[in-house]
Amino acid sequence: MKADSKSKKSLGEYYSALQLRTDRWSALKIASEQLAESQSERKRTYAENKVVELLDALRPIELYWAFPGHDTFGRLGELVVTGRFDVLAGAVRNICRSLLSNSYRQNPHHHDVDELFEGSPDDDSNEQRGKDLLYFEVLIVDSLSAMQEANLRRTLGAMRRPEDPFVYELVFVPSLTDALIAVMFNHNLQAVVVRNGLKRESEQTLELLHRYLSRLDEEALDAIEPKEYGPELCRSIAKLRPELDVYLFTDQSVEEIAGTRLGNCQRVFYNQEDHLDLHLNILRGVAKRFEAPFFNALTEYARKPTGVFHAMPISRGKSITCSHWIKDMGDFYGMNIFL
């Protein structure tokens, strides 16, 4: 599916969708601040049109990312319509700061819309709440309504436990094509859940995003029957990003699926909606890839205090703890190994 000529002309200078996303958010921050500060009607109208234009440009891009999310993005548009330009400028400023610093990864509540609009997502309490959590995103491929997406996000979110080493957020796309764009565009993705309701074609027309599909044989994809969309997506993801864990929900029989190649599919769910099992499998799959036996053995050894006495300050780790340059060496090995 090709973009219209206007999109081609305005986006022709971009070779990276990530670059486009960063530039558009930076431009939106500037435009929203200008809108909030505008005194004359002419300047206000110009700034408002610019903000609306940038929101329209970002909308197809943000489909493939969990942060800031659909709800937040929708609220930005409402603020423009209702004329709450000061709140809009503050919200966009907070979002840009979070994207630039990646602080949303340390904040497990970054989907709290009110927090983004009324406070700063980078405060110390947020960083403290999520400082030990490792963040990733999970792609859900299915044609779901906004209410169904919210229910699924709420259901999986309720299964989190304080002792979980990871925290994840969901990204929803409705089609096979959107899923392939997402796995190549969004580097935060670590797992993909392929459900029954996916479509073939994407409704997005931004040419820059569809460049990702140049690596695929689109004619071969066009020849696939609807019941094969799920298995074919599993195989395609294995070629594009073989490190990703894929989970397939299907209403086909075990006999039909048993002889089908499914790429790197880790688990097939037959005619069931077992959310707890899915949640645990997602965490288990990422934990398995995160395992580093040598590093774990080294850190375990470093936790054992040696208790060796030596009169020289270097034996107590002073040269490291007092250094302006190599304190990270102490963080890596743990101070016990130097005591």
What is the residue extent of each domain of the chain? 12-130, 133-291, 293-338
pLDDT of residue 128: 46
pTM over 0.85: no
Question: What is the pLDDT, as a whole number, of residue 305?
Answer: 62
Fold of 133-291: Rossmann fold (3.40.50)
pLDDT at 337: 64
Amino acid of residue 227: K
Q: What is the pLDDT of residue 51?
A: 94
Q: Spell out the per-residue pLDDT of the chain, length 339, in tens.
A: 444 444 433 444 445 778 888 899 999 999 999 999 988 888 899 999 999 999 998 988 999 999 988 878 888 989 999 999 999 999 999 999 989 888 888 875 555 566 666 655 555 454 445 456 789 999 999 999 989 998 999 999 999 888 888 999 999 999 998 999 999 999 999 999 999 878 888 777 777 777 777 766 666 677 778 788 888 899 999 999 999 999 998 887 777 777 777 878 888 888 777 899 999 999 999 999 988 888 878 777 777 765 555 555 445 567 777 777 877 777 777 766 666
